[in-house]
Amino acid sequence: MQWIPEYRDDVPRVERFNAVARITHWGHTVTFLLCLFTGLALFLGGVDWLATIFGGYRGAGLVHRIAAVGMTLMLVFGTVFGFKGLIAWIKDLLRFGVNDLMFIAIFPFEFLGFKVKVPPQTRFNGGEKGNSMVTPTMVILLVFSGYIMWFPSIFPAGLVRFSYPVHDLAMIFSTVMVCMHGYLGSFHPGSGESFWGMWKGTVRADWAQHHHAIWYKETYGDKSEAE
Amino acid sequence: MARLMTNLYDVSKCTACRGCLNACKDSNQLPAVIEPFKGNYDTHGGDTNGNTFTVMRFNEHDDPVDGVRWNFLKYQCMHCIDPECMKVCPKGAYTKLEWGATFHDEEKCIGCQYCTYACPFGIPKYRKHTDTVTKCTLCYERVGEGLTPACTRTCPTGALTFGFRDELLAVAEAKAKFLRANGFPRATVYGKVELGSGTNKIYVLTDTPDKFGLPVDPKVSANTWVWQDWVQPYAGWLIPIALAGSAISFVTTRMLASKGGNHTEGGHE
Amino acid sequence: MSPAFGRGVMTNHMVDMKNTDVALIMGSNMAENHPIGIKWLAEARRVRGAKIIHVDPRYTRTSVIADLYAPMRPGTDIAFLGGMVNYIIQNNLYHKEYVMAYTNASYLIADGYDFKDGIFSGYDAAKRSYNNTTWDYQYDADGTTILKDPTLTNPRCAFQLMAKHYSRYDIDTVVKITGTPKAKYLEVLKLFCSTSAPNKTGCINYAMGITQHTVGSQNVKSFANVQLLLGNMGRPGGGINALRGENNVQGATDMALLFHIIPGYIDSPISNAANKDLLNFVKAVTPGAAKLPAASMAEFRAAVTAGIPNSGFKVNTSKWVVSMLKAWWGDACTPDNDFAYHYLPKRDAAKNYSHIAMFEAMHKGEIDGLFVMGSNPVVGGPNANKEQTAMTKLKWMVSVDLWLNETAEFWTYAGWERPHGGTHHMEKITPKDIQTEVFFLPACAVYEKEGTAAQTGRWVQYRWKGAEPLGESKSDLWIIDEIAKKVQGLYKGSTKPQDEPLTKMTWGYGHGEEPEPILVGKELSGYTVADKKPIAAGFGALKDDGSTACGVWVYCGQMASKADGSLDYKPMHRDNKDNSKTGLGLFSNWGWCWPVNRRIVYNRCSVQPDGVTPWPGDDDRVLIHWDATKISDPLKPEVVGSWVGDDVCDCVKTSPPDKAVPFLMRPEGTGCFFAAKASFKEGPFPEHYEPWESPVKNMMNSQAVNPATKIWEPDKLGTTDKYPFIGTTYRVVEHWQTGALTRNLPWLAELMPNMFVEISEELGRLREIKNGDKVMVSTTRGDIEAVACVTKRIKPYIIDGKEQHLVGALWQYGFKGYATGDPANRLTPHVGDANTMIPEYKAWLCDIRRA
């Protein structure tokens, strides 16, 4: 049974994500998951065993807040030190086009394992673009609503009241995305190579050329071919 | 189901001596929270806090017909019959005791303060050093021993009485009727039908509730009940669905792959 | 009240308030200062539909539960009540049978008595005092029988003179002076005067708002005039209820903690010819005995037994005096040495020993040492800046209290901090400038000690200890006992005659670690010298021949003997069954009240003059009645006929109705509209004078202030050019007196944390002060900073067409404790009532600015 595709360093590899991007991503992953599991321990019913892992409700609350601050710091770190990368990311998102729409339409078949043919994709394919738009937005909502709930006395009561459902819905949507993103970025055959892109920083050149043809050509390929 | 027992607060008998506030602090051993005087006899801005379960509100009005009125109100948890705090609490820390008090279990509380913002009266308040919310307990331990709540025991004028809710409601209705005929034409009973099923605590007011700083027709905010009653029960299912979807994909991709021969990763056309 | 009725005490009692039909609360914020007592008015309202009237400069927590609130400018009570008297007389609303039978309305007044433009006959303007010989009755040829006019038409009868005196207090004039809206004033008059109906009674509850004025005594006399006209005295639910502000101040005054009396409200002797020996002294203090020919105590005794005309029950004063001397000096008192009368300290005729006088003398450096027990003059004394400065001139001071209060710490840096920018210049004093040696003795709290307390209703109740005192704190009784024993010890063995008051003093309250309160109680209550047995029968059994001893004659009878010989201390009784058959709440077997457990004084008036018929429709409120067949003393079966009832009769028990006088402590035996002779310093009828500092001229006569009041600091008179607003002081329920206790209690400090002043919204606009702003209030005596509470509950008074503003200052703050603030008494003046010297805390002039 294959889990994550094997790391092959005997074939040409190209850089996908730099150090700052990876630190930010994994830092975010850890803090997000901590927030998620402590949050579930606090707010879901019937998961007392989950709270016990963190030392009861007090402990879960404490870890939740520490992880939340950590997550905030990760975002700040990523924005400050990876500003260029962030701009590039946003630029790629703004290139959302027909190719991405087609990707999203066809993707469910690929998801289940059927062979598909999709148009060439930029740095981030249609689905990744979708994730890039939804998850960060949800995370920002989580952060703001979280701090409002943590210090309610300095905010208007109506805003505080509103923060509870916002935090909850943002959690749900971001977690849905995370389930998908986590699976697709690791165990899903076909996209599993991208795991190495985020872990070691490089991906197989042939994989890149296949899955992100436009990006490969623009970044690593013959510029004249991009025309 | 046991007969409900409750406190009746008759504003027309209250002299705002605030003995009840002291008795509450004493009975619950709450520390004093000394804040500077801001120009009104109210303490803590007329609101409860983590170490103050009940406050006295002082509302001045100058009516062209009635003249000056100084309306006192003892403000604390209303022990609603159908409490919103109980509905929204993620840990189920609130329960209704069979005799009517809304009981808050501090052991279960995580201090999220969702109840603070769901309560139409904004009663439960966060207490930093225990990381929980607190509120009036209706002295359930005293009542359990056959005593009356501390505030009621102290009240010298009989403004506070404790007894069976149905009996006290009858007394309240009669008193409101008497007041309406004797100089207080807008006297009313508060707590009988508010929030649908009423609150356990009952007030006899000598004027409309807004003159005492009480919401006239208290409602749970739309924010809370839309979220609580409609969205929350269903939205959370999205996560298990996403997980299930991923699990299905995990299986089906491998099944289909083994059917179609070996793929190498990297490019699969 | 003493000039009106014979005793200056609350005439009914707290529980009795539940029997009233209309209660007038005036000069009192009863809901805040007697929060438990007011429940009896709530009960009256609940059970019998009683109405409550509240008259006050501010709308307070009492006004909220009143049925009718009327505002009134501070210091205008005589005008307000004068208007009521006039209204009653003009509209024939007085209770005719009552007035005829029980008052001196019909008595003819001496021709020499006169009144003109605010001055009564006999005034010496230079001395600011009266020669009151013209304030007397007309007598028969024998010189002792007072002439009367039962038709009440003779223009010289007291009733007509009163009608004439009050005719100037018409409603329009009154409301111009008091600032009460006319319609409201009429409502008050109509409602309260409805109690003149025979089957209705009304009570008047008053406190410091009435007494803390230069005309305080006459304010109370005004109440007396009203209540006598309406027929409310001596009846359940009626009376004049002086609401005393401390739980044992009644006890304190009973024991003569006042400068001018000895226990039981007898004038203390003065060092002059009139009091040179016991015989002269008792002649002076026994009414009607001044000109008695008796040349020895034995002759005096015989005259007393025979009866002295126009003396009343006070004819027995000599018995009370001698019994007291016997209690204090025991065996050293003999008939040969005037019962040690010369041991008794005498007052200097020229000196005044009141609080104000004492601090004035202290300020001049005339006083070496001061004991301050449970008192805090730095916060509670008038002209507190001057009084605090006065303390720096002392050689030593001993402060006794539960906490270190502002007075104990008067010498610290914190004690001399003053706000910047005030109008009053204060010399900067630091601790090194002060030579006073200060001692502090920690006292324990009320629940940590035992003994009796006499509350406002004259009820003496024994309290048992509930806890041990904290640390080294001690009860006041222990402290005084120790000091007395040590001081006496210092003089031990001395043979000098001038030391005898100490060397011969009896002092023995047990041999244990703590003095025994019950032994003190026995001495107060009285015992026969021969067998040391308590005199259970009461003061009727006291003698002036040295065979009885009694510390306080009004307490006589408090102690009895049980069958087994042990002491039965009646203040310990706790039977909470109401012995009144009509549910009047007498509770005669709960505690013991003076005199002789008589719960409602003047109760002869609760029944008609025939002694048998209740007032029409008032059957339930009869306290005593005459039973012509009853033999009251089985040892004297020839004496038939006695007063019986649920209360102890306030008249001679076997005296038939036509002889039983209703106000036996008065020489006349009746309630007095006209207060004859030396009753008051300023006159037999109350007359309106403005407070010493007032923003307006007196509209009633051309006297500015009470002509008999001593003016201590004429140069400190504030005027409206610099100090345009009326200032007054008051308390809140959350704090107790100077706050020396309550500001140290966190829960109470939480409720009232800061010093504040209350002003109207109009004044707020005038001085641009918003609610919550910091302000500075100034008078010629000092400046204070406070938070402003701008409120709708105070409205400007329209006095003679012009707006006058009030600044209400809470006076309970000082620099110690959790809740601190400037003492408002730094603003109040050193001037007081002409009779009692109670300072005029309630009306003065000030300015207020944003700080």
Chain B residue at shortest CA distance from A183: B246
The whole-angstrom separation of Cα B209 and Cα B190 is 8
Does the beta carbon of A119 lie under 8 angstroms from any beta carbon of chain B? no
Which tokens sit at C474?
Answer: 């001690």
B81 & B186 share domain? yes
Residue C134 has pLDDT above 70, yes or no: yes
- pLDDT average, residue stretch C300-329: 93
Res. C139: pLDDT tops 80: yes
CA–CA separation, C92 vs C97, rounded Å? 13
Taking residues C786-792, what's their average pLDDT? 96
**CB contact set of C160 (below 8 Å; sequence gap of 6+):** C152, C153, C154
What is the arithmetic mean of pLDDT over C544-550?
94
Closest CA–CA distance from residue C417 to any residue of chain B (Å): 20
**The pLDDT value given to residue A1:** 64
What is the pLDDT, as a whole number, of residue C153? 94
Distance from CA of A140 to the nearest CA of B (A): 19
Q: Does A47 touch chain B (CB under 8 A)?
A: no
pLDDT of residue A226: 46
Phi, psi at residue C480, to the nearest 5°?
Answer: -65, -40
In a domain, B228, yes or no: no
User: Min CA distance, B240 vs chain A (Å)?
Assistant: 8
| pLDDT confidence of residue C246 | 87
**What is chain C's alpha carbon radius of gyration, rounded to the nearest angstrom?**
27
The per-residue pLDDT for range C568-596, each reduced to its tens digit, is 999 999 999 999 999 999 999 999 999 99
Q: What are phi and psi of B98, to 5 degrees?
A: -65, -20
Interval C728-762: pLDDT, tens = 999 999 999 999 999 999 999 999 999 999 999 99
Q: Are residues B215 and B109 in the same domain?
A: yes
Same domain for B155 and B255: no
Q: Who among A5, A157, A165 is closest to B265 (CB)?
A: A5
Name the amino acid, one letter, at C471: G
Q: State which residue of chain C sits closest to B158, comparing Cα positions.
A: C39
* Same domain as B202, residue B83: yes
C96: exposed, middle or buried (Cβ count in 10 Å: 0-12, 13-18, 19+): middle
Q: Which residues contact B2 (CB under 8 A, 6 or more apart)?
A: B98, B99
Beta strands C567-569; C559-561: pairing state: antiparallel
pLDDT at position A222, please?
64
What does the pLDDT read at residue B265?
Answer: 43
For A141, C187, C222, C572, the CA distances from C179, given in Å and listed in that order, are 63, 15, 19, 49
Neighbours of chain B (3+ CB pairs under 8 A): A, C
Residues C815-845 pLDDT 10s: 999 999 999 999 999 999 999 999 999 999 9
* DSSP string covering C625-690: EEETT--S-TT-TT---EEEESS--SS-TT--TTT--S-TTSSSSSB-SS--GGG-SS-SS-----
Which of A 125-154 lie inside 8 A of B, CB atoms? Answer: 149, 152
Q: Report which secondary-structure segment, H or E, holds C41.
A: helix C39-48
Task: Please tell me whether residues B199 and B258 are part of one structural domain.
Answer: no
Please name the residues in contact with A120: beta carbons below 8 A apart, sequence gap of 6 or more.
A99, A212, A213, A214
Beta-carbon separation of B15 and C787 below 8 A? no
Under an 8 A CB cutoff, do A180 and B111 touch? no
Question: Does residue C718 have a pLDDT over 90?
Answer: yes
One domain, residues B122 and B246? no
Using a CB–CB cutoff of 8 Å, tell me whether A183 touches chain B.
yes
For the stretch C244-267, pLDDT in tens is 988 899 999 999 999 999 999 999
Nearest one of C540, C535, C609, C543 to C570, comparing CA atoms: C535
Shared-domain flag, residues B176 and B73: yes
- Half-sphere exposure at residue B24, Cβ-oriented, CA atoms within 13 angstroms: 23
Indicate whether B173 and B248 sit together in one domain. no
C428 token code pair: 């900067």
Q: What is the mean pLDDT of chain B?
A: 89
Q: Please provide residue A153's backbone torsions phi and psi, each rounded to the nearest 5 degrees.
A: -65, -20
Q: Between helices C384-391 and C355-363, what is the axis angle to 10°?
A: 50
Query: How many of the other CB atoms lie within 10 Å of CB of A145?
Result: 22
Farthest-apart Cα atoms in chain B, separation: 95
Please report, for residues C15, C34, C184, C457, C532, the alpha-carbon distance to residue C37 in angstroms, rounded to integers and kept in the order given. 8, 5, 26, 11, 39
Question: A176 vs B238: CB contact, 8 Å cut-off?
Answer: yes
Tell me the whole-structure pTM to 2 decimals: 0.90
8 Å CB contact of A183 and B255? no
d(CA C154, CA C148): 9
CB contact burial C243-257 (16+ within 10 A = b; e otherwise):
bbbeebebbebbbbe
Q: Are residues B127 and B249 in the same domain?
A: no
- Which chains are adjacent to chain C, needing at least 3 Cβ pairs under 8 Å? B
Report if residue B65 sits inside a domain. yes
Summarised one tens digit per residue, pLDDT across range A55-100 is 888 888 889 999 999 999 999 999 999 999 999 999 999 989 999 9
The answer to whether C and A touch (≥3 CB pairs < 8 Å) is no
- What does the mean pLDDT of chain A come to? 88
d(C-alpha B13, C-alpha C782), whole Å: 40
Q: C interface toward B at CB cutoff 8 Å?
A: 31-32, 35-36, 38-39, 42, 59, 61-65, 67, 69, 733-734, 746-754, 756, 771-773, 787-793, 795, 818-819
d(CA B176, CA B169): 10
Closest alpha carbon to A149 in A164, A165, A129: A164
d(CA C299, CA C305): 10
Calpha distance C319→C282 (Å, rounded): 9
- Tell me the average pLDDT across A169-176: 93
List chain B residues with CB under 8 Å of A57.
91, 108, 110
Of A111, A169, A193, the CB nearest to B266: A193
Structure tokens at B94: 């609130």
User: What average pLDDT score do residues C106-117 get?
Assistant: 94
pLDDT at C104 over 90: yes
E strand residue ranges, C260-373: 261-262, 266-267, 369-373
Say what angle helices A157-184 and A126-150 make with each other, to 10 degrees. 150
Q: How close does chain B come to C690, measured CA to CA in Å?
A: 28
- Which residues span the domain enclosing B260? 236-266
**How far is B264 from B262, CA to CA, in rounded Å?**
6
How much is the pLDDT for B268?
45
Instruction: Give the one of A1, A11, A172 whose C-beta lies nearest to B238's C-beta.
Output: A172
Q: Phi then psi for B31, rounded to 5 degrees?
A: -70, 155
Amino acid at C121: S
Q: Give me the pLDDT at residue C242, please.
A: 93
C734 → chain B, closest CA residue: B17
Torsion B232-B233-B235-B239 (CA) sign: positive
Q: Which residue of B has its CA nearest to A164?
A: B114
Number of Cα atoms under 13 Å in the Cβ half of residue C400? 17
> Which residue spans within C341-491 are E strands per DSSP?
369-373, 396-401, 437-442, 451-454, 459-463
In a domain, B230, yes or no: no
Quote the mean pLDDT of chain C: 94
CA distance B25 to chain C (A): 7
How many domains are there within chain B?
2
* Chain B contacts to C (CB-CB under 8 A): 12-19, 21-22, 25-26, 31-41, 43, 60-62, 67-70, 72, 156-158, 183
What's the confidence (pLDDT) of residue B232?
Answer: 77
Instruction: Please say if the pLDDT value at position C79 is more than 80.
Output: yes
Which chain C residues have a beta carbon less than 8 Å from that of B155?
Answer: none
The tokens for C179 are 């600032």
Identity at B8, one-letter amino acid code: L
Question: Which residue from C minimizes the CA distance to B12?
Answer: C65
Across the interface, of A1, A8, A58, the residue whose CB is closest to B254 is A1
Touching A (3+ Cβ pairs <8 A), the chains are B
- Using the structure block, give the residue that is written with the tokens 């909220």: C64
Residues of chain B in contact with residue A193, where contact means CB-CB under 8 angstroms, are: 265-266
Domain membership of residue B211 (yes or no) is yes
Q: d(Cα B267, Cα C14) in Å, to the nearest integer?
A: 100
Residues B46 and B25 in one domain: yes
B12, B34, B53, B212: best to mutate for the C interface, most C CBs within 10 A: B34
* HSE-CB of B52 using CA atoms within 13 angstroms: 25
B106 domain residue, yes or no? yes
Residues B150 and B246 in one domain: no
C-alpha closest to that of C76 among C58, C94, C48, C57:
C57
Q: What are the distances in angstroms from CA C162 to CA C78, C86, C384, C675?
A: 14, 9, 40, 11
Residue A43 and residue A171: Cα distance in Å, rounded?
12
- At residue A224, does pLDDT exceed 60? no
Structural tokens at position A194? 């991208």
Supply the pLDDT for residue B259.
67
Which of B41, B47, B153, B204 is best to mutate for the C interface (most C CBs within 10 A)?
B41
Instruction: Report d(CA A130, CA A121) in Å as an integer.
Output: 13
In a domain, B92, yes or no: yes
User: Looking at this protein, which amino acid is placed at residue C621?
Assistant: R
The residues pairing with C850 across neighbouring beta strands, listed in sequence order, are C775
| pLDDT reported for residue A42 | 86
Among A213-227, B196-210, B231-245, C321-335, which stretch is predicted with the lowest mean pLDDT? A213-227
Q: Which residues of C touch B31 (CB under 8 A)?
A: 746
Q: Do both B98 and B212 map to the same domain?
A: yes
Quote the distance between the C-alpha of residue C665 and its chain's center.
Answer: 17
Residue C775 has pLDDT above 70, yes or no: yes
Measured in angstroms, the CA of B36 and the nearest CA of chain A are apart by 18
Greater pLDDT, C705 or B239: C705
Q: How confident is the model at residue A53 (pLDDT cuts 50, 70, 90)?
A: confident
Which of B25, B35, B36 is opposite residue C747, by nearest beta carbon? Answer: B25
Tell me: the pLDDT tens digits for B151-165? 999 999 999 999 999
Rounded CA-CA distance C86/A186 in Å is 103
Could you tell me if residue B229 is inside a domain? no
How far is C333 from chain B, CA to nearest CA, in Å? 50
Q: Using CB atoms, which residue from C38, C42, C754 is nearest to B36?
A: C754
pLDDT digits (tens, 9 = 90+) for C20-46: 999 999 999 999 999 988 999 999 998
Put simply, the answer to whether B157 touches C42 (Cβ < 8 Å) is yes
Contact B267 A207 (CB under 8 A): yes
Set of chain C residues whose Cβ sits within 8 Å of the Cβ of B72: 61, 64
Query: In chain B, which residue's Cα lies nearest the Cα of A205?
Result: B266
Check if the beta carbon of residue C370 is closer than 8 Å to that of residue C377.
Answer: no
The answer to whether the CB atoms of A204 and B265 lie below 8 A apart is yes
Return the H-helix or E-strand segment holding C84. Answer: helix C77-90
List the domains of chain A with CATH numbers: 15-81 (no CATH), 96-227 (1.20.950.20)
| Residue A32 scores a pLDDT above 70 | yes
- Please answer whether residues A112 and B249 qualify as being in contact, where contact means their C-beta atoms are separated by less than 8 angstroms: yes
Write out chain A residues lying below 8 Å of B87, CB-based: none
In sequence order, which ranges of chain A are alpha helices (DSSP H)? 19-43, 48-53, 56-81, 83-93, 98-112, 126-150, 157-184, 194-199, 205-211, 213-219
When CB atoms are compared, the residue of B17, B34, B39 closest to C790 is B39
How far apart CA C46 and CA B203 sit, in angstroms, is 18
- Closest C-alpha to C443, from C380, C398, C488: C398
Residue B65 confidence (pLDDT): 83
B84 pLDDT exceeds 80?
yes
ipTM of the complex: 0.90
Determine the pLDDT at residue B1. Answer: 58
Ramachandran region of residue B79, left (φ > 0), alpha (ψ -120 to 50) or beta?
left
The CATH number of the domain holding residue B54 is 3.30.70.20
Q: In 10 A of CB C589, how many CB atoms?
A: 15
**Residues C61, B18: C-beta atoms closer than 8 Å:** no
